[in-house]
Every structure is written in C-alpha cells, then in structure tokens.
C-alpha cells in the first residue's frame, strides 16, 4: 500500500513537471510544432479534474470548485484558447497536489492499542491452573497473575498483595499498591507479587477494550475541515455561469463569456489554504513540532481551552526525593538517607530507585551492600545495612512488624501528603526513625507556558488520573485553576465532550496510552513525541518531538497567524478576480491575458504564504 502511494505521488509530480514545461512552451510559442503543447497540460491535469467533477455530480450531486474549472476548460478548448485551458488545468492540479500533501493518511494507533490486549490468562478450573485464551475467560473465573504479567481482564484481588503499573489506564507515574478487595484492570501490568483475582468484566466489557472503542468512536466523530473553495463552490459556480451567460447575451461575444469563466476559476482560492498551511507546518518544524494532520493548524486556531495531562506532560513523570525528615536523635538526615538508599539498592520499585539515584547525585556514589534483602510486594523492603535492620515502605509494612508511628511523624508526613508527595516511612532496628517524601517534578517551563497561553486568550485545564492532592499541588504551582482528577480514559473523553458541547473547543496535550481517546476526541490532539507512547503519538494531530512544552504558545500563535494569512490570501484572490471579471465583461481582457492576470493572484498567494516560513511571535 505504501509503495502504491509513493508510485502515485511520483506519477503526479511527473505529470505536473511535464504540464509546467508544456504551458511555458505554449506561452513563449517556442518551436514550429504541429499542435499547441498546452494540450499536454489539459490531458495530464485537466482530464482528471473533469472526471472528478462529473463523478461527483452524477454520484452525489456534489458541486465543488472543480465543476467551474471543468466548464472553463471545456469552453476555452471549444473556442480554441488552448493555452488558457492548459494554464488553468496546471494551476488547479498544483493546488490539489498541495492539498493532498497536507491531508494526513490513516493512522495505525488503534492497531497498536489492540497489540496491548493480553492473549492468554491463568485460570483455576477443577482444582488445576490452566492457561486459556483471554477471550475465553468468564465472569466469576479465578485468575492467577504472576509478577511481570499483563492482567487479562478486569477483576478484584481475592488473595495476595502486589504493585500494579496502571499507566496504560490512568497515566500514573508510579505503580499502585494493591491488596485483597482492590480493583485491577485489563492491560495493566503486575510488577512484583503474585495474586489471585476474580474476573468481573471480560471480553468487550473490559477496560482496555472499552478504551479501544473510545479511540475509534472519537476519531470517527471528529469533523473534517472542508476546503474553502469547495465550501463556497456552489455559489461560485452559479455566479460565474450567470455572469458569463449575461455577458454573452448582452454583447453577443462568446469570447467574453469564456474569459469570465477562466478568470472566475478559483485557482488562488484553492491555493489560499494549502500554501499557508504548508508554510505553517514548515515553521513549526523549526521549533521541534511535528504536525501530522494537514488541517490541525486551522482547527487549533479555534480552540478555547488547552487540557493538559499531568504526568509526563506538565511534569517529568519520574519520582524524585522532595524531603528527608529524621526523628531519631542519633541519626542525621544524611545518615537516614544513606541507610534507606542502601536498603533500597536492590529494589526494582521506582520509588526505591529514585531514592538511590538521589543519594548518588547528592553525595558519595558508593553505598554499602545490603544483606538479607527482601522485597515485600505492596509494602516496601526489608534489609540489613551495616548490621542494622532497616524497614522502608508504607504504614502497613511497619504495622506488620508491630512498629507504631508517633503522632509527630504522622502529622509531619501529612503536610507533605497534602502537597501530593508519596511517603516512604523508615524504621531502624525496630524504631520509627523518619521518612522520605517523593514527588513528581514540574517542568521548569510549565509556569511560563501556562501564563503565555492565558495571554493568548486560551484557558488552561488539568486532566489527570492522579489523586486530587498530587494534582492540586502541581496545578497550583503551574497556575492552573480548572482541575479534574482521578480520571480514567472515559472520564477524560467525557469532560472534553462536555466542554465542546458548550462551544469550548479543546486542545488536549498528553503523553500516555490512556490519553489516546482524549487526544482523538479533542478538536486538536498534541502528544509528547519523545517520551510519549507510540499510541499517544499516533492518536494525536501534532507531536512535540523534543517533549518541549515551551513551544506550545508559539504553536497557538502560529495557528492564529496561519488563519489570518489564509483570510488575507482569500481577500487578494477575490479582489483580483473581481477586477478581472469587470475587465472581461468590458472586453478589455481576452482569455489568454485573463488567465495570466488571474494567475497573478496565485503568485501573490504563494508569496504571502511563504512569509509564514520565517514568522516568529514578537516577545513581549
């Protein structure tokens, strides 16, 4: 399929090149040829236009700009004005080619989502554990999930403790501890412990399958932008025909009528949008912005809100140590951090790795090796460091070891929790000794980006799967007032639908698989192209190649500038056409000169659009 598309594009470029040469030769009247070589342009560029116009009229009664072009071509040929016909055919073919280049091809994002679907599941039947295809799992079946496996269906844990990576569903940066009675979702990954679960939603009802359907429905429901010339085509055709017929009847000169049809051809109008959009796309590329959908800039210029995902978009999506608090008089903060980092040295948990990384960056990179290391799923770690028993984990871990946290530690930890931090409590030799607070890190440009977006008249929204405490803290720092938390993919999609039903068109910025439905549903979707998942990028209209959100205000301003350029292009083309029509009616212009004059509008449009390539927003 790709090879066929490339072959077709090569053929189109070849036809355009031949047509251009033939039109130039015809205009300069080079050589003593037995026929006007502009016929090549008519055959290679004009026939496809006429064919498309006829098919559209007959099958759908669809009047587009190519209907008027076809009439002008045929009329010019009938009266022997071959150059005029060839020139119009060539310009229209150029416009169609540019438009095709800006229209995105079908995306493969849904296929990649399907590949995430687990194919098998471990089911307990008749006292035995059997591996069955995931689609054969029934509601009520008992499943066993090992560490590292993808959960096949939605269900509730009935035995065991673990940590589950739910990024595919919620976008949360950290694994979520799970124990008996907790819900788990299909497509999420069991990271550490082994557990048993009871299936509650299977097959098409599972969370992952629902998300796939959301992506499909959101894409189908997004309206496609119609070309400006085609939008007004019916009126253009009617006015042109009436003007031509009236002139013919009043002057009895058919050549004037044909000239009106030629100068009325919306060549510059057809070029107004694609040339500006292609120049805008070229400008965006310089700022590390990949525009995947041709009409994305046109749509982006109309958005009223920008909805940000939090993790990986406004933040880096990686935990970092925010604070270390020691409540043991015999341990300094540095000593508590060192003991905890040593205990976590062999941990595979992201929080443990973050503590070790922080220690190595902040002080001596060497750490004493832990002994008797145990990783306790859903709880934390236990290890001997320099002969001292270290426990690092959650409240449940200390409770399991009969260690009670004094109110002073609990109260202090709550202040960090209110700021969205995750707390790792630490005990040394059975004594509660302090805690380490970890949190996601806001991107340094986030505050400035939010402020600039507000200045452009667009409101900021936060849509995240994180809890309200973590989200509110980051939103407050960034300066975002409108916050929606604990969002699953369908929640994000529903919120965007609600905004857009009120006339507030939304641009969604996200990075994870869970953002794919929202990216599709939004009027415009922007994905973080570097760290973002392939599925998020495939679902989006625009990708930020370097994950640099500071380019978003420029992108918004560029979209508005592009639309202003398109409107100016239309004004140039319509004003020139209006003057040419008056002159054609008066008999001042013939078909050949008329074609050249009206072609000047196309040149003006291209030059004006090219100015966008180097446009940059004025810094204030």
For 328, counting Cβ atoms within 10 Å of its Cβ (0-12 exposed, 13-18 middle, 19+ buried), the class is middle
Residues 35 and 58 in one domain: yes
Residues 337 and 361 in one domain: yes
More confident residue, 311 or 158: 158
Residues 17 and 97 in one domain: yes
349-375: pLDDT as tens digits: 888 989 998 998 876 667 888 999 998
pLDDT of residue 328: 92
Residues 414 and 336 in one domain: yes
Inside any domain, residue 552: no
Residues 92 and 126 in one domain: no
pLDDT of residue 388: 92
Inside any domain, residue 587: yes
> What's the CATH code of the domain at 496?
3.40.50.1000
Domain that holds residue 371: 316-441
More confident residue, 437 or 116: 437
Inside any domain, residue 283: no
Domain termination residue (choose one: 441, 472, 500): 441
Tokens of 609: 């659009």
> What's the CATH code of the domain at 137?
2.70.150.10
Domain termination residue (choose one: 407, 441, 475): 441
The answer to whether 559 touches 567, Cβ cutoff 8 Å, is: no
Domain termination residue (choose one: 197, 216, 235): 216
Tokens of 155: 């269900």
What does the alpha-carbon distance between residue 86 and residue 75 come to, in Å, rounded to a whole number?
12
pLDDT band at 12 (very low <50, low <70, confident <90, very high): confident
Alpha helices, DSSP H, located in 252-320: 254-264, 267-285, 296-300
What does the alpha-carbon distance between residue 250 and residue 585 come to, in Å, rounded to a whole number?
10
> What's the CATH code of the domain at 435?
3.40.1110.10
Interior/surface letters 141-167, b for 16+ CB within 10 angstroms, e for the rest: bbbbbeeebbbbbbbebeebbbbbbbb
24-42: pLDDT as tens digits: 888 777 767 777 888 888 8
544-562: pLDDT as tens digits: 766 678 889 999 999 999 9
Inside any domain, residue 557: no
What does the alpha-carbon distance between residue 515 and residue 483 come to, in Å, rounded to a whole number?
16
Residues 247 and 307 in one domain: no
In the chain, the percentage of residues whose pLDDT exceeds 90 is 24
Inside any domain, residue 131: yes
pLDDT band at 86 (very low <50, low <70, confident <90, very high): confident
Residues 157 and 139 in one domain: yes
Residues 518 and 581 in one domain: no
Instruction: Give phi and psi for 79, each to the nearest 5.
Output: -90, 5
What does the alpha-carbon distance between residue 112 and residue 236 come to, in Å, rounded to a whole number?
44
Residues 93 and 236 in one domain: yes
pLDDT of residue 144: 92
Inside any domain, residue 554: no
What does the alpha-carbon distance between residue 64 and residue 236 come to, in Å, rounded to a whole number?
9
- Closest listed residue to residue 487, CA positions, set 454, 504, 512, 506: 512
What does the alpha-carbon distance between residue 332 and residue 441 come to, in Å, rounded to a whole number?
25
Residues 103 and 230 in one domain: yes
Tokens of 166: 């739910």
Tokens of 402: 């009969």
pLDDT band at 417 (very low <50, low <70, confident <90, very high): confident
Q: List beta partners, residue 527.
A: 510, 543
The answer to whether 332 touches 326, Cβ cutoff 8 Å, is: yes
pLDDT of residue 105: 37
What is the number of structural domains in the chain?
A: 4
More confident residue, 109 or 298: 298
Q: Given a cut of 80, is residue 618 above it in pLDDT?
A: no
479-513: pLDDT as tens digits: 999 999 888 888 898 999 999 999 999 999 987 66
pLDDT of residue 265: 67
564-574: pLDDT as tens digits: 998 888 888 77
Catalytic residue among 36, 230, 295, 309: 309
Inside any domain, residue 581: yes
What does the alpha-carbon distance between residue 239 and residue 237 come to, in Å, rounded to a whole number?
6
pLDDT of residue 389: 94
As a whole number, the mean pLDDT across the chain is 80
Inside any domain, residue 462: yes
Q: Given a cut of 60, is residue 606 above it in pLDDT?
A: yes
pLDDT of residue 361: 83
Q: Given a cut of 90, is residue 262 above it in pLDDT?
A: no
Residues 88 and 194 in one domain: no
Residues 224 and 107 in one domain: yes
What does the alpha-carbon distance between residue 48 and residue 427 come to, in Å, rounded to a whole number?
79
* pTM of this structure: 0.64
Alpha-carbon dihedral angle through residues 307, 292, 300, 316, given to the nearest 10 degrees: 30
Q: Is 309 a catalytic residue?
A: yes
Q: Given a cut of 80, is residue 154 above it in pLDDT?
A: yes
Tokens of 466: 């994180």
Q: Given a cut of 70, is residue 48 above it in pLDDT?
A: yes
Q: Given a cut of 70, is residue 156 above it in pLDDT?
A: yes
Distinct helix (H) and strand (E) counts, the chain = 24, 22
pLDDT band at 109 (very low <50, low <70, confident <90, very high): very low
């Amino acid at each position: 399929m790709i090879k066929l598309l490339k072959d077709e594009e090569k053929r189109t470029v070849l036809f355009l090149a031949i047509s251009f040469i033939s039109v130039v030769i015809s205009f300069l009247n080079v050589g003593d040829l037995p026929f006007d070589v502009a016929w090549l342009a008519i055959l290679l560029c004009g026939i496809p236009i006429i064919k498309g116009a006829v098919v559209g009229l007959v099958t759908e009664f669809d009047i587009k700009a190519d209907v008027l072009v076809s009439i002008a071509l045929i009329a010019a040929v009938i009266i022997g004005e071959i150059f005029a016909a060839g020139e119009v055919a060539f310009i229209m073919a150029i416009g169609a080619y540019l438009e095709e280049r800006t229209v995105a091809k079908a995306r493969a994002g849904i296929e990649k989502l399907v590949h995430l679907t687990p194919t098998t599941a471990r089911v307990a039947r008749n006292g035995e554990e059997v591996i069955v295809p995931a689609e054969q799992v029934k509601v009520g079946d008992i499943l066993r999930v090992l560490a590292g496996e993808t959960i096949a269906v939605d269900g509730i844990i009935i035995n065991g403790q673990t940590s589950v990576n739910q990024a595919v569903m919620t976008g949360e940066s950290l694994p979520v501890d799970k124990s008996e009675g907790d819900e788990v979702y299909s497509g999420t990954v069991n990271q550490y412990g082994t557990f048993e679960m009871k299936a509650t939603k299977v097959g098409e009802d599972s969370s992952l399958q629902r998300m796939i359907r959301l992506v499909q429905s959101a894409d189908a429901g997004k309206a496609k932008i119609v070309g400006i010339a085609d939008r007004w085509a019916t009126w253009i055709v009617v006015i042109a025909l009436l003007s031509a017929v009236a002139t013919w009847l009043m002057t009895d000169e058919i050549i004037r009528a044909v000239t009106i049809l030629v100068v009325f051809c919306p060549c510059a109008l057809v070029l107004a949008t694609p040339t500006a959009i292609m120049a805008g796309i070229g400008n965006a590329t310089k700022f590390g912005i990949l525009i995947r959908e041709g009409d994305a800039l046109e749509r982006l210029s109309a958005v009223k809100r920008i909805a940000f995902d939090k993790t990986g978009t406004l933040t880096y999506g990686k935990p970092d140590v925010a604070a270390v608090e020691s409540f043991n008089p015999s341990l300094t903060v540095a000593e508590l951090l060192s003991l905890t980092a040593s205990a976590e040295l062999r941990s595979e948990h992201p929080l443990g790795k973050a503590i070790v990384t922080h220690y190595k960056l902040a002080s001596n990179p060497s750490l004493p090796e832990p002994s008797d290391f145990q990783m306790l799923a859903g709880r934390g770690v236990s290890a001997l460091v320099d002969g001292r028993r270290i426990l690092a984990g959650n409240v449940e871990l200390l409770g399991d070891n009969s260690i009670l946290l004094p109110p002073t530690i609990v109260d202090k930890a709550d202040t960090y929790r209110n700021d969205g931090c995750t707390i790792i409590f630490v005990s040394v030799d059975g004594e509660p000794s302090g805690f380490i607070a970890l949190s996601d890190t806001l991107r340094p440009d986030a505050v400035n980006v939010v402020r600039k977006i507000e200045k452009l008249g667009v409101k900021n929204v936060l849509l995240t799967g994180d809890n309200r405490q973590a989200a509110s803290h980051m939103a407050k720092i960034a300066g975002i007032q409108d916050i929606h938390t604990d969002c699953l993919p369908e929640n994000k999609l529903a919120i965007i639908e609600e905004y857009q039903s009120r006339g507030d068109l939304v641009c969604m910025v996200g990075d994870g698989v869970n953002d794919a439905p929202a990216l599709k549903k939004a009027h415009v979707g922007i994905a973080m192209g570097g760290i973002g998942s392939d599925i998020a990028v495939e679902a989006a209209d625009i990708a930020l190649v370097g994950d640099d959100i500071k380019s978003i205000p420029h992108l918004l301003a560029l979209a508005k500038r592009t639309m202003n350029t398109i409107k100016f292009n239309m004004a140039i083309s319509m004003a020139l056409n209006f003057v040419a029509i008056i002159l054609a009616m008066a008999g001042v212009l013939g078909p050949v000169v008329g074609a050249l004059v009206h072609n000047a509008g196309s040149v003006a449009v291209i030059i004006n659009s090219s100015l966008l390539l180097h446009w940059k927003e004025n810094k204030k």
